[in-house]
Amino acid sequence: MRIALLGCGVVGTEIVRLLRANAGDLAARVGEPLELVGIAVRRPERVRDLDIDSALFTADAAGLVARDDVDLVIEVVGGIEPARDWLLAALRAGKPVVTANKALLASDGAALHDAAAAAGTDLYYEAAVGGAIPLIRPLRESLAGDRVRRVLGIVNGTTNFVLTRMDETGASFTEALAEAGALGYAEADPSADIDGYDAAAKAAIMAQLAFHTRVTIDDVYRVGIGDVTAADIAGAREMGCTVKALAVAERSADTDGISVRVHPAMIPRAHPLAGVREAFNAVFVEAEAAGQLMFYGQGAGGAPTASAVLGDVVAVARNRIAGRRGPGESSYAALPVLPMGRTVTKYHVNLDVTDKTGVLATVAGAFARHDVSIRSVRQDGRGDDASLVLVTHAAPDAALSATVEELRGLAGVRAVSGVMRVEGGEP
Amino acid sequence: MRIALLGCGVVGTEIVRLLRANAGDLAARVGEPLELVGIAVRRPERVRDLDIDSALFTADAAGLVARDDVDLVIEVVGGIEPARDWLLAALRAGKPVVTANKALLASDGAALHDAAAAAGTDLYYEAAVGGAIPLIRPLRESLAGDRVRRVLGIVNGTTNFVLTRMDETGASFTEALAEAGALGYAEADPSADIDGYDAAAKAAIMAQLAFHTRVTIDDVYRVGIGDVTAADIAGAREMGCTVKALAVAERSADTDGISVRVHPAMIPRAHPLAGVREAFNAVFVEAEAAGQLMFYGQGAGGAPTASAVLGDVVAVARNRIAGRRGPGESSYAALPVLPMGRTVTKYHVNLDVTDKTGVLATVAGAFARHDVSIRSVRQDGRGDDASLVLVTHAAPDAALSATVEELRGLAGVRAVSGVMRVEGGEP
């Protein structure tokens, strides 16, 4: 089984190391040796430190993919182009592909899946979500006899590290992000993580598998964690909650649509996801028959990602030797993705109000006008001012956000000092 | 795809319900409808309440398995015989088998695997360990490119419920077991759970998958939780630990053997397994590249177990339609299973001693004579008596237990009031 590797950064280097260190085990598990026949990198002349035969390196990825002596292609370059062209060429030539490329899968996975199906070959991508945590295989296979209701994931290590620090040390967002950068948990430009793009791509991939429906990153509602304040974290704490950046894929209870979104949310401290600290990832799945499941581990890093890639390599190599194909894309359900306004959520709202008779009645009236039911309210007086903390029952997001808009202009309301969605409770 | 179901108790009934409720989804996922053509039960005339066509029921399981119109066999009867004969007959006839039968797999799985391989058909058993928690597939496939170091599992809901209650309420073992029985978490005869037989079967199955080595329940060292006392729990708490009934499958660091065992152990409260409460199950996996992973969920019950069975049914039905076979048994490594005496563990030892000069030196001498290094010691005086709490560094279990034997006869030692292994820390 002759393998081409596209990309040789942190993950690629670890793949090369594992292919060598575990060569005997891998050969026994696959049924024949795995041989690395070429590695495509942008600047082969720059690759020096690695203890790898320099003759393997090439700058011509397309040529490497097309070589007759390549049976299987691993891609860890990332990004849409040129990875997309290389992988389409591999699949069209009937060569199975193992990729960690979440951005490509979330933007144009359909083209890859179609090419794999047309050629009767495999497209595996366990490493695209949650590093080494098995998620794709459980969603695609283990839960194939069940109906998934909801997937709640902490799928970005950078944002979870930042929010964990804010929660545990009282740090501000800026301080916590600086610490994440210093410790190597945040990139020099952290915007793909902080603004939720990374998590949105993973949410699209998980939603597709959970609901047998094509979902792209453009279908995903997205709010980053840049506006989360120390006051939000403190407010969550008072509610017995913590703030997490969640990727949510959910089947609507009353319509036959799904909701896919990424945003900060309060979850109860007793929820299993609340204990997922620092850069760890975890995905919590609720299915009709299986009940509640959680998958936990290191969501990133060279070695964990390489482990996931090689698990897939063993599977597709076995398939290729046996002349068969693993499970392909499943998108028969084709459920509509609901706009965020129609998605049912709950809000936690913190108001600064004047401490005068009638303010609560005014505020409650705004909720009632939008048909939003209040679950709990707490008022704390502070001289002339008071703070009012309200938690709603579930309501369409459009009604909730319209309520908040109305509150901003209400006499007696000095400021809406905090608004956050609440997840992880009973529907 | 025509299915025979052997057994129609709590799990079987739920399988029938899901086959009907999810019929459209299952057909779309498999590629053709799943049709239940027969259900074998011991006394068909007793099955009344179920909303199932009575013509499906038969007492002749062997005859049902042999029928020409049966393509796939599900077994949820449990026990060794006659299930073994039925499943061997099915596999020999080339009919794929999905089973939840941990006892059979752990005692004579080799015969089933050999029959499946000889006939080129599938033997799937995700439901045998951890109910709906995907464990078999991640160990068998997702980690196939990695080297597993250790598997630590809470795989028995009854014992975890009992130990959770002892920890959280200070209840005695007897009180906690009575509560488990009253709430339906313990069977009328709870000995298979309390004495560790159920967990030992699951440990054997997990060890086989993790280490590519045939392991039977007879290879598993086993201690139940019947002797765990409230004092043990309190002692664990003082150490920042909790007591869990663990299934451990571990690769020895210095020899090329594996250790497979089931026993109560102290684990640090900060360990992810420590937070697994009541009847929930979780399995913690440490692999060289993947790092630490945890899988969590409901480990038993009709619906979760049926979910796991149906996930397997979808997979083997797809395979059968495509004329292929999923991954089979992997036992190439054939590592030796070490006897418990050669397994390296750590002990927590609690002694009642006379409070006289020289007692600590005498006790420390006993440890030294067996070449066991002491990690920490704490002495609390109480009038003429004192308690001495020692935690060891890792040492061969035989040396540790010989040390404890010597302590029992030592002048100045009134009693060895508690001995428990410690897991979940650094090696």
As for the ipTM of the complex, it is 0.92
Average pLDDT over residues B341-359: 91
Task: Report pLDDT digits (tens) over A392-418.
Answer: 999 999 999 999 999 999 999 999 999
Cα–Cα dist B386/B388, whole Å: 6
Contact residues on chain A for B26, CB-CB shorter than 8 A:
145
Task: Report pLDDT digits (tens) over B56-107.
Answer: 999 999 999 999 999 999 999 999 999 999 999 999 999 999 999 999 999 9
Catalytic residue among A95, A202, A244, A346: A202
Tell the residue number behind the tokens 């979808």, with chain if given. B314
Which regions of chain A carry the CATH code 3.30.70.260?
340-422
Task: Report pLDDT digits (tens) over B415-426.
Answer: 999 999 999 875
Distance from CA of A375 to the nearest CA of B (A): 28
Task: Report pLDDT digits (tens) over A187-201.
Answer: 889 999 999 999 999
> Rounded to whole angstroms, what are the CA distances from B74 to A8, B17, B67, B120, B308?
46, 14, 14, 18, 12
Active-site annotation of B, residues: 202
Q: How many CB atoms lie within 10 A of CB A376?
A: 11
Which regions of chain B carry the CATH code 3.40.50.720?
2-132+302-321
Contact residues on chain A for B147, CB-CB shorter than 8 A:
22, 25
Contact residues on chain A for B304, CB-CB shorter than 8 A:
289-291
Q: CATH for A140-298?
A: 3.30.360.10
Task: Report pLDDT digits (tens) over A244-259.
Answer: 999 999 998 777 899 9
DSSP code for B268 = E
pLDDT at B50: 64
Residue A236: name the closest of A170, A158, A285 by CA: A170
Residue A167 predicted with pLDDT over 50: yes
Average pLDDT over residues B189-194: 95
DSSP code for B273 = G
Distance from CA of A394 to the nearest CA of B (A): 26
Identity of the residue in A298, A322, A330 whose CB atom sits nearest the CB atom of B292: A298
- Counted residue by residue, chain B has a size of 427
Q: CATH for A2-132+302-321?
A: 3.40.50.720
pLDDT at A253: 79
> What's the fold here for domain B340-422?
Alpha-Beta Plaits (3.30.70)
Q: How high is the mean pLDDT of chain A?
A: 94
Nearest CA in chain A to B126: A142
Report whether B50 contacts B13 (CB < 8 A). Answer: yes
Q: How many CB pairs under 8 A join A and B?
A: 201
pLDDT at B427: 42
pLDDT at B309: 97
To probe the interface with B, which of A305, A307, A310, A319 has the most B CB atoms within 10 Å?
A307
CA angle A69, A73, A79 (to 5 degrees): 140
Which residues lie below 8 Å from residue A53, measured CB to CB, with a gap of 6+? none
Q: Which residue has the higher pLDDT, B325 or A117?
A: A117
Tell the residue number behind the tokens 């290389």, with chain if given. A86
Which sign does the torsion angle of CA B395, B401, B406, B409 carry?
positive
Beta strand B35-40 pairing with B2-6: parallel
Query: Distance between alpha carbon A179 and the CA centroid of its chain, in Å?
Result: 22
Cα–Cα dist A14/A17, whole Å: 5
Q: CATH for B136-298?
A: 3.30.360.10
Which regions of chain A carry the CATH code 3.30.360.10?
140-298
| pLDDT confidence band for A385 (50 / 70 / 90) | confident
% pLDDT > 90, chain A: 87
Ranking A32-36, A111-115, A218-222, B296-300 by mean pLDDT, the lowest is: B296-300
